[in-house]
Structure 1
Amino acid sequence: MEVLIMAILAIGLYVFAKVILKEPILPWKEKNTQLTGISLKRKKGKKHVAVTAGEEEPDPFREMFKDIKEINSHMVRFNNNKFVMIAEVEPVNYFLLSQDEQEGIDITFETWLAQINYPVQFYLQNRYIDLSEPIEMMRDTMKSQEDLNLNALEYGQTLIEDLTKWQAVTPRYETRRYLVFYTTINPSEIKADDQEELEEKVLDKAFQELYRRLNTAKNALRKADIDVQMLTNEGIGEVLYYAFNRRKAVKNKFKDTNLQEQLALYVTADQNLERIEMVKEMIERESNRESKEAEKEQAS
């Protein structure tokens, strides 16, 4: 009787474990074939039908910015004439301030929120703390100082080695804070003689409206010692770079892309202004020639 009870308990535990592990209860049955990421072929008469169970992971940049048009005039422009301006905020150390100073900051922030009638987004971004520049400055300082004694030189070299190892073994991250302002411009409300003038007026109107909102935040938060600075085209590109390359940015730094001319339309050596203007004229003539040929083909 005891053996029977023990056998029943063992069977119950076995079934319970298989259910938890999502495995087949009967050991001679195979598991369901996992099709994720595997392309199978099966015969159907004389035809081969490809069965793809897994789907490709979507590109996050295309999914989030599939309707983006350009980054121009320190703004992100979308296809529906929506414009976005980003400002970086330098915060204060709130918790080291006194009670009266904290209340003053709260009142300033609440006053700014109460006087605006348009949406503002807050964006926080964690970035890897890069110590390469301070380390390089320390190394250059040591090389330039000729009156350093041996002990100071050894201490500096040891400090540089320790900082380099510490950064590689224990990466640290800092939080960057941004304010995002956006507006949509309706081109039908703007009077212009041609398309080029309309384009300029749309950009000008969007910039004036967003810059006014940014200045309102800057002037209001200045009373709380909170600095607000508009991001340029390069600054916006840097924010996007760190947003979509958080791990790669540890080694592939954004500043290196600029130094290596990866942000330039044409990678060339230093040229004088006359040669640059000549190349621009040649490009413009070539573009006009191609457009005329395209018009002739359409006419024929």
Structure 2
Amino acid sequence: MGSVIPGFDYRRVAVADGVTLNVAVGGTGSPLVLLHGFPQTHLMWRHVAAGLSAGHTVICPDLRGYGASDKPAERDTGTYSKRTMAADIVALAAELGHDRFALAGHDRGALVAVRAGLDHPAAITHLAALDVLPTLDMWDVLHGSAAAVAFHLYLMAQPPGLPERMISASADAFFGHFLDIWARDPQAIPSGVRAEYLRASREAVPSIVADYRASAGIDVEHDRADRAAGHRLGMPVSVVQQDWGAALGYDAAAVWRSWAADLEHRTTSAGHFMAEEAPAEIIEVLRSLLAR
């Protein structure tokens, strides 16, 4: 498989501050935007996007800093904040003619989706988050030796220079490590798709690190401000996760309930790359969400 979703049209769309995103669009019907995670591109949605395109206009961008989208230099803490990346997605949808749309994200894309739901509640009709916690809570639950599973979060939180050099020196091994250990079904990511993920990540080390660095700094500040102000997600929200709580000792559903009034939370037997490992399950989750 190449670097495209078969049957989808591709275009480049200019969003805020001159950044252009690579986006795949397919299907007809109400708009649904799907945001990928790490270390992936929009290709992670290939099965889900095809399955939903009969009833929806499915929009799959590469996030800024990832895939074939632009990768601006990290000028300040806002360049890769989730607030900035969420504004990209709202601008993208508007450019495609959609002032209101449903939004689903996996991993990093889910953090962008949550920020979009908090910052742009009038634009987001429904929201789904796959296998992630909101940024503030993610840092709060990581402690002791159990936090070793998230070593990459701490590495990429460091000031510019060292993490970029370390990762660039062995990029395929670094990014491939996560593709290997996070997948319960390695066959779900075929060799051609894996090669595309590694190529895209290898070419995006500075921007990927900047994205993670923002999540250890300004993204936490934004979440704290929302929590202090009592801001919550007002739209229907669906969350699908592995059973992290059992491993790390917290109640994931309770964490999400603190952010979302209208919540459906479920766990899955699939691995982290659930949209590729269990696409039928994720399609059912999204269809159920959109019917609420």
Structure-2-length-normalised TM-score? 0.19
Structure-1-length-normalised TM-score? 0.19
**Whose Rg is larger?**
1
